[in-house]
């Protein structure tokens, strides 16, 4: 932050559904990252150069009382907020505007937050949006800056405590996979597999899935964001499961492709092995210092080699390909890796060299619509100085191991 600047972070809204219903609360991950506060109606102010030392970190919370405790459960008090966040100065939310007026006139620059994720598509006005409008109306003569880029850089490299939480999330995902490998058989419905996974996650103190799960059997596996999960799993099909447990607000993200009958056909195994080969090769080049565009280009060459072996593309198609949409994209049309952390598609720069301590997925896939066969494999990797650490190394991945686990 530049000298005499003040940054403000708002909690997410508690969103309505219908009548008096609300959606489950999901905290603003920047506020949670900086404070550990996982409660609605919260505001964090950071002012490193505040003349009054107690105002260099300030937390505003909705005032709790006995009635709220009866109807909604206990909320943070000033004392419990300090013990969990380390922030000494805590005010009630009703004093926000009064306190802010004092702080604003001591600052020259106001740093405001916004969802600057490259794939964000926000159709409703957020709490940050409303606050930004209010702030610029009340204090029009201040300088304004964006704070999101700084948070993206901070959150991209994980602290040891974050890695521990992510490893726990991966361990819960492993428990779910172990459970469903013994459960899957012809005639099972996709939603029954989803239910088995949810049972295992919640039974182990997870809030559930880190994102909407994909349980896609047969042709459904060729639909990249299939989430209906309402079809029967039939003998001879392969099920693509893109699933992950959350733990402590941190995500895991795994994909496995499972034979419904317990054994891959020759063709299914052939495609499976090609995807696995690309995954292993990608892990050798996803290293500190590489630019994601260069990484994805190299993975494209790996995939091209495999698709040629499988007879899905020809050498002439490769020679005549459009560089903007290479031949391999017909069967592998998405990216290979993304940041993961508090968000499944976590924040971080895709144009700067990746750093040691980042966590990425590696998830190549081959989707053959004409064969109703989609294979994707995905694990989460901590980028290390000497080698990467596979946070999901204990989850069956080799085709033989998948088949052995299904036999029980």
Give the tens place of pLDDT for each residue, 361-384. 999 999 999 999 999 999 999 999
CA separation for the pair 37, 43 (Å, rounded): 10
283: exposed, middle or buried (Cβ count in 10 Å: 0-12, 13-18, 19+): middle
- What the block records as the tokens of 56 is 């260099």
CA separation for the pair 105, 304 (Å, rounded): 60
Q: How many residues does the chain have?
A: 408
Contacts for 232 with CB less than 8 Å, ≥ 6 apart: 187, 188, 189, 190, 217
Domains, in order of start, for the chain: 5-155 (3.40.350.10), 157-407 (3.90.230.10)
Angle between helices 190-203 and 160-181 (to 10 degrees): 140
Question: For position 72, what pLDDT does the model report?
Answer: 77
- Residue with structure tokens 């989707």? 367
**Tens of pLDDT, residues 298-339:** 999 999 999 999 999 999 999 999 999 999 999 999 999 999
**Tens of pLDDT, residues 67-122:** 777 677 788 999 999 998 999 999 999 999 999 999 999 999 999 999 888 888 87
pLDDT at 124 over 90: no
pLDDT-above-90 percentage for the chain: 92
Residue 144 near residue 137, CB atoms below 8 Å: no
- What the block records as the tokens of 345 is 């598609």
């Amino acid at each position: 932050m530049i000298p005499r600047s003040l940054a403000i972070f708002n909690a997410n809204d508690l969103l309505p559904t219908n009548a008096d219903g609300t959606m489950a609360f999901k905290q603003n991950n920047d506020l949670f990252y900086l404070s550990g506060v996982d409660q609605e109606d919260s505001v964090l102010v950071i002012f490193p150069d505040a003349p009054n030392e107690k105002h260099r970190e300030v937390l505003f919370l909705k005032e709790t009382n006995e009635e709220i405790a009866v109807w909604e459960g206990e909320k943070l008090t000033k004392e419990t907020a300090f013990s969990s966040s380390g922030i000494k100065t805590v005010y009630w939310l009703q004093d926000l505007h009064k306190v802010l007026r004092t702080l604003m006139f001591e600052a020259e620059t106001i740093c405001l937050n916004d969802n600057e994720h490259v794939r964000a598509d926000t159709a409703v006005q957020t709490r940050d949006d409303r606050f930004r409008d209010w702030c610029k109306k009340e204090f029009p003569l201040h300088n304004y800056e964006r704070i999101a880029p700084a948070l993206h850089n901070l959150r991209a490299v994980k602290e040891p405590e974050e890695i521990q939480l992510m490893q726990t999330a991966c361990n819960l995902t492993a428990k779910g996979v172990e459970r469903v490998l013994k459960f899957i058989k012809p005639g099972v419905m996709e939603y029954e597999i989803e239910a088995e996974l949810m049972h295992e996650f919640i039974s182990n103190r997870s809030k559930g899935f880190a994102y909407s799960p994909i349980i896609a059997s047969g042709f459904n596996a060729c639909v990249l964001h299939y989430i209906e999960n309402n079809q029967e799993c039939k003998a001879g099909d392969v099920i693509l499961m893109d699933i992950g447990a959350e733990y402590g607000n941190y995500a895991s993200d795994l994909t496995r492709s499972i034979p419904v009958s317990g054994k891959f056909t020759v063709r299914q195994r052939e495609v499976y092995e090609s995807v696995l080969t690309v995954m292993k090769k990608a892990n050798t080049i996803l290293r500190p210092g590489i630019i994601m565009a260069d990484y994805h280009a190299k993975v494209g060459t790996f995939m091209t080699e495999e698709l040629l072996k499988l007879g899905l593309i020809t050498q002439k198609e490769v020679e005549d390909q459009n560089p903007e949409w290479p031949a391999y994209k017909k069967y592998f049309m998405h990216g290979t890796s993304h940041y993961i952390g508090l968000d499944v598609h976590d924040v971080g720069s895709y144009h700067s060299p990746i750093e040691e301590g980042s966590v990425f997925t590696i998830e190549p896939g081959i989707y053959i619509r004409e064969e109703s066969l989609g294979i994707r494999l995905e694990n989460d990797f901590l980028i290390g100085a000497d080698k990467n650490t596979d946070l999901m190394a204990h989850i069956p991945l080799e085709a033989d191991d998948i088949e052995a686990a299904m036999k029980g």
